[in-house]
Chain A
Amino acid sequence: MTPPQPRPAPAALHGPDGRDEWKRGWKHILVYLECRDGAVHPASLQVLRKARELAREAGFAVHGIAIGEDRELLRALLAPYPLERVYLCQTKERHFLAQAHSEPFIRCVWRLRPSVVLLAATPVGKAIAPRLAAAFGSGLTADCTDLEMRDNTDLVQVRPAYGGDVMARIVTTRSRPQFATARPDVMPSQAAVADPGVEFVLEESDASPETAVTLLKTEPRRETHDITRSEILVVAGKGLRRLEDLELLRELAELLGSELAGTRGIVERGWLPADRQIGLSGKSVTPELLIACGVSGSVQFLEGVRQARIIIAIDSDPDARILAVAHYPILGDLYKIVPALIARLK
């Protein structure tokens, strides 16, 4: 690989701590509007709504950027949303390629000079965001669960950290733009409005950058078991002592006609595959009924079950966080309770 470019540090990009005037040169919020399968990604609409709240605090406008092969389709999809201006960038590929998507985005950001650039933390968003931040030598916080705007236009980026019951507040005080990706399905969504009056700008496309990535084949992703579509979920946590004990929960899940899922700790042990993981670095689930067995309920985990309608939690530790938040907390021994439940179901 060729030696790296020196860090980009033009004077206007950065400024010392404690001095805020230079930040006024960076205005407004730019939101990446991911569109797929003929629809705006729901997570992008969640980011848009948060962006509008933040913008109101700072007296900023909210602009959007969308990148795709069919700009007329993008225009039609985005017209109903309250944005001041949307930049439409054209790509040659129908499918997502990170570098090809990042290049026009970077050019747009250079011209617009937004204070904040927000993307949803979808696979696409998380592929583009680090390239953007690196291009500007500026800060990026991934998977934010909340965002706040300060008077001096510093963006406070909030996310759970260190795998445990810790929240972190992160700031980018010495550079602009401030980049952040927002965790999907945490923030409320922006609804379409009557007569938003969006201005669309067609961005000039450079000849596509010489890219060494060639698409050979695409196929739909077929999940044979999808924990995000299961009405009931049985969740295994680290309260399970041995791998063999998982069979007990598997049996329970089968009898309930439901899926088995696990916490990050369980997946990291290799007891369940990653597509059955619930939590910040796993999936968000929305079951009618969730039965958590031996799950302590870290902040990371609870982020994934916010929208479960009823949570039953069995744990033997009275201090387990999940017992404080479950709809039906059960302080007890799962090794006795689960067999008793299985007996009743049979």
Chain B
Amino acid sequence: MMRIAVCVKQVPARSEGMMDPATGTIRREGLAAVINSYDLPAIETALRVKQRVATEVDVFTMGPTKAVAVVREALGMGVDRGYLLSDPRFSGADVFATAYALVQGMRTVGAYDLLVCGKQTTDGGTSQVGGTIAQMLGVPHVGRVTKLVDADRRGVTIVQELERELLTLRVGFPCVVSVEPGIFTPRLPSLKSKLAAAKRQVTILSLQDLGDADPTHYGVKGSPTRVEKVYPAALTPRRDLSAMDAETAADLILGQVRRLTRPGGAR
């Protein structure tokens, strides 16, 4: 039986305004949490492969206990099994420690032919987890995938979008792919599947459950990078502006447009 894994993340619903300038820390409490929007097309891609090949799709996430919500959301879409890596010692992980934890989590379950990741997260936004996991597993990683052309038991045919060209690639299993948001429109779970998902069992994996249970390999301790400081970006002095009425504003803008289109107006 072919097996696909998808890695997802729960992120704050709003990413702006999280910094408390008084204390220099990030406020996370009290913010609604949602599934990283870039992960939905990844789940959808896995489910589309499942439509073509007999396979099971498992979802993995690392987070606090409340992150079970994103696992259930994935189950509601049609994912077969869900795994939540949750342990205080996993927290504060950078890309490397996150990838390592996910790899160890997947390893407790078995061998996967395909791992699908989203393009990035809305809070970290590095796009580096997929490639890191692939290197740890010694398998190919293809990012910026905009199209799934074909899938069978041996591999997938995809289109990768680089800066100036589109590459159609055949990638044999096992492999990791990271998909762009436009690849598929993610399906909305039906009410029925959402209700069913609420009753499904989600496996919670803590440090003890992993093959490598050395706490120094995870979380803050296992992260080679460290955020030394976060601070508000240089506060540009606020200008004292008075409200401008629509007619004056429209004239101003029109003036700038005319200057541009006047001969010699452009750079």
A-side interface residues toward B, CB under 8 Å?
Answer: 1-7, 36-37, 95-99, 102, 122-124, 126-127, 129-135, 137-143, 156-157, 160-175, 211-221, 231-232, 256, 267-268, 273-274, 280-281, 288-289, 291, 296, 298-299, 309-310, 312, 314, 318-319, 321, 323-325, 328-333, 336-337, 339-341, 343-345
User: Do the beta carbons of A162 and B170 come within 8 Å of each other?
Assistant: no
User: Do the beta carbons of A268 and B122 come within 8 Å of each other?
Assistant: yes
User: Do the beta carbons of A2 and B111 come within 8 Å of each other?
Assistant: yes
Q: Given A163-B125, A333-B246: A129 and B131 within 8 A (CB)? A: yes
User: Do the beta carbons of B167 and A215 come within 8 Å of each other?
Assistant: yes
Give the most central of B134, B163, B211: most A CB within 10 Å: B163
The reply on B228 being an interface residue by CB < 8 A is: yes
CA distance A156 to B227 in the complex (A): 10
Within 8 A of A (CB), among B153-211: 155, 157, 161-175, 180-182, 211
User: Do the beta carbons of A218 and B166 come within 8 Å of each other?
Assistant: yes
The reply on B1 being an interface residue by CB < 8 A is: no
B-side interface residues toward A, CB under 8 Å?
Answer: 15-19, 26, 37, 94-96, 99-100, 103-104, 106-107, 111-113, 115, 120, 122-132, 134-144, 155, 157, 161-175, 180-182, 211-212, 217, 223-233, 236-239, 241-247, 249-254, 256-257, 260, 266-267
Inside 8 A of A281's CB, which chain B residues have their CB?
120, 125
Q: Which partner residue on chain B sits nearest A160 by CB separation?
A: B233
Given contacts A1-B111, A133-B132, A137-B224, 14 further A-B contacts (CB under 8 A): A2-B137, A5-B136, A98-B143, A139-B96, A141-B225, A162-B18, A164-B17, A170-B228, A215-B168, A312-B256, A328-B253, A331-B242, A336-B245, A337-B253
User: Do the beta carbons of B95 and A140 come within 8 Å of each other?
Assistant: yes
Q: What are 28 A-B pairs with beta-carbon distances under 8 A? A: A1-B113, A6-B212, A7-B217, A37-B164, A123-B163, A133-B96, A134-B96, A134-B99, A137-B224, A141-B225, A163-B125, A164-B16, A166-B18, A166-B230, A167-B231, A170-B226, A211-B140, A213-B171, A217-B167, A220-B164, A231-B266, A232-B257, A314-B249, A318-B241, A330-B252, A332-B243, A336-B245, A344-B250
User: Do the beta carbons of B172 and A95 come within 8 Å of each other?
Assistant: no
Q: Which partner residue on chain A sits nearest B154 by CB separation?
A: A212
User: Do the beta carbons of B127 and A137 come within 8 Å of each other?
Assistant: no
User: Do the beta carbons of B144 and A123 come within 8 Å of each other?
Assistant: yes
CA distance A3 to B28 in the complex (A): 35
User: Do the beta carbons of A171 and B225 come within 8 Å of each other?
Assistant: yes
Pick the contact of B246 from A124, A268, A337 — CB < 8 Å?
Answer: A337
CA distance A341 to B136 in the complex (A): 55
User: Do the beta carbons of A123 and B143 come within 8 Å of each other?
Assistant: yes
User: Do the beta carbons of B230 and A168 come within 8 Å of each other?
Assistant: yes
User: Do the beta carbons of A4 and B228 come within 8 Å of each other?
Assistant: no
Q: Given A164-B19, A296-B16: A1 and B174 within 8 A (CB)? A: yes
Q: Given A127-B143, A165-B19, A232-B257: A138 and B233 within 8 A (CB)? A: no
Inside 8 A of B143's CB, which chain A residues have their CB?
98, 123, 126-127
Inside 8 A of B142's CB, which chain A residues have their CB?
98, 213
CA distance A134 to B102 in the complex (A): 14
Give the most central of A133, A232, A280: most B CB within 10 Å: A133
Q: List 10 tightest A-B contacts by C-beta distance, closest first.
A: A163-B15, A212-B172, A130-B131, A139-B224, A134-B135, A340-B250, A139-B225, A336-B246, A324-B236, A217-B168
User: Do the beta carbons of A340 and B246 come within 8 Å of each other?
Assistant: yes
Inside 8 A of B138's CB, which chain A residues have their CB?
2, 4-5
Q: Given A221-B166, A288-B267, A325-B236: A131 and B131 within 8 A (CB)? A: yes
Q: Which partner residue on chain A sits nearest B161 by CB separation?
A: A221
CA distance A256 to B253 in the complex (A): 11
User: Do the beta carbons of A166 and B26 come within 8 Å of each other?
Assistant: yes
- Nearest-CB distance from A133 to chain B (Å)? 7
User: Do the beta carbons of A164 and B15 come within 8 Å of each other?
Assistant: yes
User: Do the beta carbons of B162 and A288 come within 8 Å of each other?
Assistant: no
CA distance A211 to B140 in the complex (A): 8
User: Do the beta carbons of B174 and A172 come within 8 Å of each other?
Assistant: no
User: Do the beta carbons of A142 and B224 come within 8 Å of each other?
Assistant: no
Pick the contact of A134 from B136, B237, B245 — CB < 8 Å?
Answer: B136
- Nearest-CB distance from B85 to chain A (Å)? 15
Inside 8 A of A132's CB, which chain B residues have their CB?
135
Q: Given A98-B140, A212-B172: A124 and B16 within 8 A (CB)? A: no
User: Do the beta carbons of A167 and B233 come within 8 Å of each other?
Assistant: yes
Give the most central of B211, B233, B244: most A CB within 10 Å: B233
Pick the contact of A291 from B18, B180, B212, B253 — CB < 8 Å?
Answer: B253
